[in-house]
């Protein structure tokens, strides 16, 4: 069922833009505020947000917040939009889940990140660790990894995509405006890191802290646009959760600087001056070669992403028609 077809059956939109916006603000506050209400979740100059105790406590609070927001959204969809149980699952992107759409979404994202994947796998020689599952095990064995690759993507995508998008679709707002507007809540929800950074880095000047926060707001909002686009095009919350986890793992792509291979530790120590200079020359040429390959692939990945954006996100389970 396409959500636009569902809305056409209603004489008037079930919700107003103001009502959906108020709920969105409330959900965002409900998600962030508990971080600062308890001493167990509130960072300080001597307690980092990366401390295991802080991460565990925050995951507990976030789980409660997302659960309450989910209950509220389901109630609104049922009471205000007269949606059936199956309609609600469909609007939230919980059912049915197409594994093909999940795979296509990950493939599209991997195309965009082709250069960073090359850097990690080949240039830094991590592919062997991947095959052994060592990287995955190490990442999920730490609380930081559990937060970045599991708890964060799951809770944020459920709240800011699965809950906020359907609420706005039940208003007079067009699907395009929904895709452009709702990620702003996601970006704003990350602004609180400015306070955390200032608190834990008291000797850092204020200007760099502001710039850092603005950059973080920008790239989280941009990712939010992409994730919301995927969610609307596929109607699949699992797809955006996995894409979110993948992007957290990949990080922001390098857009400047020389790409250098991982330097092996150890090796011969009794080398002459000529051997040392010759080795430095080979390393310099190797780094230049890898840098050329990386940046060519970075551009090719962006072009490939743009070329396949609509094709790889096409799905019969889309929540709205954007084309």
What is the DSSP track for 198-232?
A: HHH-TTS-HHHHHHHHHHHHHHHHHHHHHHHHHHH
How confident is the prediction along the chain (323 residues), in pLDDT tens digits per residue? Answer: 455 555 555 568 899 999 999 999 999 999 999 988 888 888 777 888 889 999 999 999 999 999 999 999 999 999 999 999 999 999 999 999 999 999 999 999 999 999 999 999 988 888 888 888 888 888 888 999 999 999 999 999 999 999 999 999 999 999 999 999 999 999 999 988 888 888 888 889 999 999 999 999 999 999 999 999 999 999 999 999 999 999 999 999 998 888 887 654 444 445 554 554 544 444 555 688 899 999 999 999 999 999 999 999 999 999 998 86
From first CA to last CA, the distance across the chain in angstroms is 17
Per-residue pLDDT, 266: 44
Per-residue pLDDT, 323: 65
Residue 81 CA to residue 296 CA, distance in Å, equals 50
Q: Which has the closest alpha carbon to 227: 273, 162, 280?
A: 162
Is 137 tagged catalytic? no
The contacts of residue 258 (CB under 8 Å, 6+ apart) are 287, 288, 291
Annotated catalytic residue, options 119, 156, 157, 168 = 156
Per-residue pLDDT, 267: 47
Per-residue pLDDT, 322: 87
Is 279 tagged catalytic? no
Per-residue pLDDT, 259: 87
Annotated catalytic residue, options 190, 192, 196, 260 = 190
């Amino acid at each position: 069922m396409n959500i636009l077809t569902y809305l056409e059956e209603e004489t008037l939109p079930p919700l107003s833009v103001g009502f959906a916006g108020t709920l969105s603000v409330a959900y965002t506050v409900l998600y962030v505020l508990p971080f600062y209400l308890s001493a167990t979740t509130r960072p300080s100059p001597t307690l980092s947000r990366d401390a295991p105790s802080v991460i565990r406590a925050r995951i507990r609070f976030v789980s409660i917040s997302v659960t309450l927001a989910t209950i509220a959204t389901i109630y609104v969809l049922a009471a205000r939009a007269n949606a059936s149980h199956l309609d609600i699952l469909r609007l939230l992107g919980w059912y049915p889940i197409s594994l093909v759409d999940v795979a296509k979404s990950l493939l599209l994202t991997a195309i965009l990140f082709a250069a960073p994947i090359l850097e990690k796998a080949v240039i830094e020689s991590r592919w062997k660790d991947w095959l052994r599952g060592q990287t995955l095990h190490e990442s999920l064995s730490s609380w930081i990894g559990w937060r970045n690759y599991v708890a964060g993507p799951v809770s944020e995508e459920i709240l800011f995509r699965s809950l906020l998008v359907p609420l706005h679709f039940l208003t007079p707002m067009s699907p395009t405006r929904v895709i452009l507007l709702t990620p702003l809540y996601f970006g704003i929800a990350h602004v609180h890191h400015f306070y955390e950074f200032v608190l834990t880095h008291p000797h850092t000047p204020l200007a760099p802290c502001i710039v850092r926060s603005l950059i973080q707001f920008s790239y989280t909002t941009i990712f939010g646009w992409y994730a919301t686009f995927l969610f609307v095009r596929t109607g699949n919350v699992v797809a955006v959760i996995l894409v979110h986890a993948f992007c957290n793992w990949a990080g922001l792509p390098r857009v400047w600087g020389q790409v250098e291979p991982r330097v092996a530790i150890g090796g011969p120590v009794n080398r002459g001056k000529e051997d040392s200079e010759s080795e430095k020359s080979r390393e310099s040429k190797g780094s230049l070669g890898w840098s050329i390959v990386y940046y060519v692939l970075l551009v090719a990945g962006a072009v490939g992403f743009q070329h396949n954006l609509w094709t790889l996100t096409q799905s019969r389970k889309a929540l709205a028609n954007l084309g």
